[in-house]
């Protein structure tokens, strides 16, 4: 028998938001937290992304404020490569013109 993973309502909402980020666009941890209904939970979003091993969730599209790459389970090289493959310009550990690539755009 396969054991199903139980996830919280907030985690479920976070994963649903991240699945909607289109290729070539990014959202910050704070953006995702806001869209998932908990605007002050950016750190919790980061923890969810760190522990997410689901291929249907494009975690690489979630970045830190200011276009910094943030974490990616310790594999920033892979995150950088995935973002570049989607057309983003990554210089060092930052995305160039990150605000222009944010989805759906900066919030209030």
Spatial separation of the C-alpha atoms in residues 69 and 57, rounded to whole Å: 17
Give the helix ranges, DSSP H, for the chain: 9-19, 29-35, 42-51, 76-85, 98-101
Q: In this structure, what are the phi and psi dihedrals at residue 87, rounded to the nearest 5 degrees? A: 95, 5
Catalytic residue (one of 18, 59, 62, 98):
59
Q: Does 59 participate in catalysis according to the annotation?
A: yes
Q: Which two tokens stand for residue 66?
A: 């200011």
Structural contact between residues 35 and 108, judged by C-beta atoms closer than 8 angstroms: no
Q: Which DSSP letter does residue 2 get?
A: P
Active site residues: 59
């Amino acid at each position: 028998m396969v054991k199903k993973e139980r996830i919280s309502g907030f985690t479920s909402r976070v994963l649903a938001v991240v699945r909607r980020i289109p290729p070539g666009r990014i959202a910050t941890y704070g953006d995702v937290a806001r869209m998932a209904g908990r605007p002050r939970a950016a750190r919790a979003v980061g923890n969810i992304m760190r522990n997410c091993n689901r291929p249907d969730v494009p975690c690489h599209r979630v970045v830190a404020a200011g276009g910094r790459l943030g974490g990616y389970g310790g594999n920033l090289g892979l995150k950088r490569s995935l973002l570049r493959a989607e057309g983003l310009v990554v210089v060092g550990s930052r995305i160039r013109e990150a605000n222009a690539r944010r989805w759906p755009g900066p919030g209030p």
